[in-house]
Every structure is written in C-alpha cells, then in structure tokens.
Amino acid sequence: MWIYEKKLQYPVRVSKCDPMMAKLLMEQYGGADGELAAALRYLNQRYTIPDKVIGLLTDIGTEEFAHLEMIATMIYKLTKDATPDQLKAAGLGPHFAAHDSALFYTNANGVPWTASYIQAKGDPIADLYEDIAAEEKARATYQWLIDLTDDVDLQDSLKFLREREVVHSLRFREAVEILKEKQSEKRFY
C-alpha cells in the first residue's frame, strides 16, 4: 500500500504573509479541479479500469495526495502570521470565524468541497479523457496562480505542481492509447 515519509514531495517556501494568495490557493485544495478531487477521482476509478493501466491511476492518485499536502503547507505558511484583520481584508473572515486557522476543504470562493466533483463513468476511455481534462484544468489554474503572485519562492513550488499536471496528462494520454490498442485486438475464445 503506502509508505508515508514525513517530507514534502517538493520544498514549499513562501517569502511573506499573504492571506489573499492563501485564499486563491484554496481552489487547488478544495475546488472542483483541485488536488483532493483528483486524488479521490483516480483512486475511485481504478476499480473499473483494466489491469493494464490500474497502476497508473493508483500512482497518480497517490501523488495527488502529496500535492494536496503541499497546497495545505502553502496556505498554512501564507496565513500563519496573519492577523484577524488581514484575514478579513483577504475575504477569509468567514473561514476564520468558522475554523480559526484550521484548513477546511473549500474552493477560493468558500464553497465546501463536494463528492459531485468526482467523475466516474465506468467506461475506461471516457474516464481517462475526464482525467486528462482534469489535469489540464489544474495545469491552467496553477499557471494563473503563478501569475497572481510576485513571491518567487511560492512561484517555484507552484511551477513544480504545474509541471506534474503536464506529466500526469501525458501519462493518461498514453493509457488511452494502450486501451485503444487492446480494444482493437481480436479475441479468441
């Protein structure tokens, strides 16, 4: 199963307290195209995927949990020294009132995470195309987050996450081709 090492997949550094950026990062924490939704989507889909690619969903789903941990670390570091007034000014007043400094799975608008974000059709090709789309949407969001901060340390970690989304998309595309080849094979009984 899993072996947990108390070390982030990639270092997370931030240069300053920035509650507004933390609020924006919550999109990747508890949003529809965020890391939690991706991890659960892939680990759920693996039960109806052919054996030839089941390991891929397990590997990428597990890695998404590592990315979730990185996003949580970013949000924590960006808000740990923030005053209640700074949190309120960043639009995090309602979050602070309900959760103090604890993380809670919401998107950047404060909408709670929901299981309806997880897509699973049961058709391996359809599910893999959904996964490709999820990775591309996450890649785009990471690019926009990079563009929204001037913190070069934070940008570094976000660039790492953006590039992992590209790799995942490519791996899912390869899996689609593997399954298409399998579909076209003649079956003998």
Domain range annotation of the chain: 19-108+118-184
* pLDDT value at 179 more than 90: yes
Show which residues are catalytic: 35, 64, 67, 135, 165, 168
pTM over cut 0.85? yes
Please report, for residues 74, 132, 143, 179, the alpha-carbon distance to residue 174 in angstroms, rounded to integers and kept in the order given: 31, 10, 24, 9
Please measure the distance between the N-terminal and C-terminal CA atoms of the chain and give it in whole angstroms.
35
* Topology at the third CATH level for domain 19-108+118-184: Ferritin (1.20.1260)
Amino acid identity, residue 125?
I
Would you call 106 helix, strand, or coil by DSSP?
strand
| Closest listed residue to residue 112, CA positions, set 99, 121, 100 | 99
Question: Using 50, 70 and 90 to split pLDDT, how confident is the model at 186?
Answer: low
Question: Using 50, 70 and 90 to split pLDDT, how confident is the model at 4?
Answer: confident
